[in-house]
Amino acid sequence: MRNIWAICKRELLAFFVSPIAYFVITGFTLLVGYFFFLYLAHFAQMMNLAPMIAMRGGDMPNLNRDVIEGVYQTMVVILVFLIPLLTMRTIAEEKRRGTFELLITSPVSVSQVVLGKFLSIALVLTVMLGVNLIFPGLLVAYGNPEISPILSGFTGVLLCSFGFASIGMAVSSFTENQVVAGVSSMVTLLLLYVIQAPAESLGGSAAEFFRYISPIDQLQDPLKGIVTLKSMAYFSSMIAIGLFLSQRSLEAYRWR
């Protein structure tokens, strides 16, 4: 555990000495804030039309559904493009500089290297997402949303971000070029994001399979305040697969 924490601190220092972490956290917060106020403005307009909607028997405006769910779903879209900026240098840059060879010849295992690097990214993501809890916090302070969907939705988005980060690390472990790692990670995450799109036209067991492996579909229950074993197992499996691929790739590189 000491070795893992030492590598984690080294990576955190690298993140915050360079402008990468500040750029990603600031950009993410500005984008989420912009969309939060857009959703809130739309909700206010719908509230003004509530009597007319009630007369026509339509769905009444709901703060959780119309604002909070929208913000969390938007967070996931933004993360698809920002997480590769955090993960692209984690391993690829070490290989390019030749420092990876020094790292793996020190008294640490490949597993400890992978876990230490992943832990550092997970901490950055936790801070980044935690800062943006200020927006649901404003709704709690001045409105009356349900608390459980806010907490479960945040947990779901956080686990999803960890899964995306583990995949980004795995992609980074297969190349020495961080630009290639960043673009490849972005394409991989974008494909994963839209993978449920063919489900409607396929139907049957194929449709169920594509829905199951879609992070967007797995987020639906947490966004509604329902924490299911299926969604937790899915995100845990995504994290485990990404870390496993990173470890195997680095083990192969170590013995070249």
Tens of pLDDT, residue by residue over 187-202, are 999 988 888 777 666 6
Q: Is the backbone of residue 36 left (phi > 0), alpha (psi -120 to 50) or beta?
A: alpha
Q: Is the backbone of residue 204 left (phi > 0), alpha (psi -120 to 50) or beta?
A: left
Rounded to an integer, the average pLDDT of 33-38 is 94
Q: What pLDDT is recorded for position 112?
A: 83
pLDDT tens by residue, 120-157:
999 999 999 999 999 999 888 887 888 888 999 999 99
- Nearest-5° angle of CA 104, CA 109, CA 110? 70
Separation CA 116–CA 79 (nearest Å)? 21
Whether residue 178 contacts residue 88, with contact meaning beta carbons closer than 8 Å, is answered with yes
- Closest Cα partner for 143 from 33, 56, 66, 234? 66
**65 vs 210, more confident:** 65
Rounded to an integer, the average pLDDT of 208-229 is 85
* Candidate ranges 3-7, 91-95, 157-161, 208-212; pick with highest mean pLDDT: 157-161
User: In the structure encoding, which two tokens stand for residue 73, read together?
Assistant: 């779903």
- Closest Cα partner for 145 from 65, 42, 32, 48? 65
The owner of tokens 């995450």 is: 189
Separation CA 3–CA 81 (nearest Å)? 31
Whether residue 145 contacts residue 40, with contact meaning beta carbons closer than 8 Å, is answered with no
Q: What pLDDT is recorded for position 256?
A: 60
**21 vs 186, more confident:** 186
pTM recorded for the entire structure: 0.90
Q: What pLDDT is recorded for position 59?
A: 66
Q: What pLDDT is recorded for position 181?
A: 84
* % pLDDT > 70, the chain: 84
* pLDDT, the chain, mean: 84
> Domain-by-domain residue ranges, the chain?
2-254
Residues contacting 81, CB < 8 A, separation 6+: 186
State which H helix or E strand residue 1 sits in.
Answer: none
Rounded to an integer, the average pLDDT of 54-73 is 79
Instruction: Give the orientation angle of helix 147-172 with respect to helix 110-131, to 10 degrees.
Output: 140
Q: Is the dihedral of CA 187, 14, 74, 26 positive or negative?
A: negative
Q: What pLDDT is recorded for position 10?
A: 82
pLDDT at 104 over 80: no
**98 vs 169, more confident:** 169
Q: What pLDDT is recorded for position 50?
A: 65
**112 vs 237, more confident:** 237
Q: What pLDDT is recorded for position 77?
A: 94
Q: What pLDDT is recorded for position 3?
A: 78
Whether residue 159 contacts residue 219, with contact meaning beta carbons closer than 8 Å, is answered with no
Q: What pLDDT is recorded for position 53?
A: 62
Separation CA 170–CA 164 (nearest Å)? 10
Q: What pLDDT is recorded for position 123?
A: 93
Q: What pLDDT is recorded for position 173?
A: 83
